[in-house]
Structure 1
């Protein structure tokens, strides 16, 4: 099975027994090796109690002489974390602080509704940084790839989505339209090349209307 993301994270996940829990970290034992993993408060609270088996999705931070392993209870939260740290002024620690204060779906709602006040109220975020997050991530969140409703992250559908997004169209709308067009019986009966041409043509018409 291929990994459900396109960014390189090196260690996709760790499956083991939780040995300790802190406010912003957990320890997990896997095949005799114990990992200390930095995590959001929301992820930590959603994981099983100490002594139980769990799976945590990870991202390895490595810069100069620093190395740390970050972990998340869901792939979606990791996607959102990676999107947040792509914004200037929001580092890994800042992203964890944000994700400890608001659930991923609520943060997504702030972005969809362009709720600057809601974003700015989160710990560690002033109005200026909140504006950067809103402008950079609105309609472009990578976590949608993990829940795209039928668009493969490696097939031609992904290439169509990328092509349309590169034209400046909002990714969420692109995903929805491509998904609906793929269900069209007339389009489904076409050969690969004609199918691509028709989907792109009709998607551009709908997105431009």
Structure 2
């Protein structure tokens, strides 16, 4: 297995790049999220990779981060999701956005990706739930303090879904204690 390559970026033709590693040129397919963050041609590049071996081809996929590669590997394990669709998903959404969509079970975000219909999006969300999901402490790029994270986890433990817990704590006053936060969230949930 080729897990990482490091070399000189020779060519960039979306969605493929050519990387020279000590005289050997590797053709690597990358999602657009990685493609846009690549250096200029002639500069050094490091990509985390995933090698797929088929009867008719050996395909190398490259990613700018280990988390992108891990998500790619989770996606291709799902029945009906091949490497091309997985790349399309990663091209259309960041790892954090997909994790948030899984946590909140939002099919609308996935159907915007070319090649993903409503049924496929629903199957993706179902298959990824529990495997991929936003850390309840850092949803939508908002870092929550320990009390807010504890309140979210308490609500989930009480049987509320991640989506309900996030909605209930959205307007929670900053600096509230855990017990005050739980009271606030439960009031918000009873109104909804």
TM-score by length of 2: 0.67
- Match runs of 1:37-186 below 5 Å: 37-141=28-132
User: Structure 2: how far apart are the matches of 1:143 and 1:34?
Assistant: 37
Contact 1:83 1:142 in 2 (8 A): no
3-state DSSP of counterpart to 1:46: coil
What's the Cα RMSD here?
1.9
How many angstroms does 1:121 deviate by? 2.0
The answer to whether the 8 A contact 2:100-2:133 is kept is no
Which has a greater percent of helix?
1
C-alpha displacement of 1:44: 0.9
Structure 2 residues without counterparts, runs of 5 or longer? 136-192
- Contact 1:60-1:67 at 8 Å conserved across structures: yes
Question: Cα gap change, 1:87/1:14 in structure 2, threshold over 3 Å: closer, same or farther?
Answer: same
- 8 Å CA contact 2:102–2:132 kept in 1: the answer is no
SS in 1 for 2:36: helix
How many residue pairs align between the two structures? 136
Question: Which of structures 1 and 2 has the bigger CA Rg?
Answer: 2
The runs of at least 4 aligned residues of structure 1 exceeding 2 Å deviation read: 141-144
Q: 2-side partners of 1:136 and 1:47: how far apart?
A: 31
Q: Measure how far apart 1:138 and its partner are.
A: 1.1
Q: Once the two structures are superposed, what CA deviation does each residue of 1:26-82 show, in whole Å capped at 9, x if it has no partner?
A: 100011111110111110111111111110011111111221111101100001111
2:34 partner SS: helix
Provide the rounded CA distance (Å) in 1 between the counterparts of 2:73 and 2:133.
8
Shift of 1:114: 0.8
Query: Which deviations, in whole Å up to 9, do the C-alpha atoms of 1:135-169 show, x marking residues without a partner?
Result: 1111213999xxxxxxxxxxxxxxxxxxxxxxxxx
Matched position secondary structure for 1:111: helix
Q: Which moved more, 1:73-82 or 1:116-125?
A: 116-125
CA deviation vs aligned residue, 1:66-104 (integer Å, no higher than 9, x gap): 211111011000011111111111100111111111111
Match of 1:25 in 2: 16
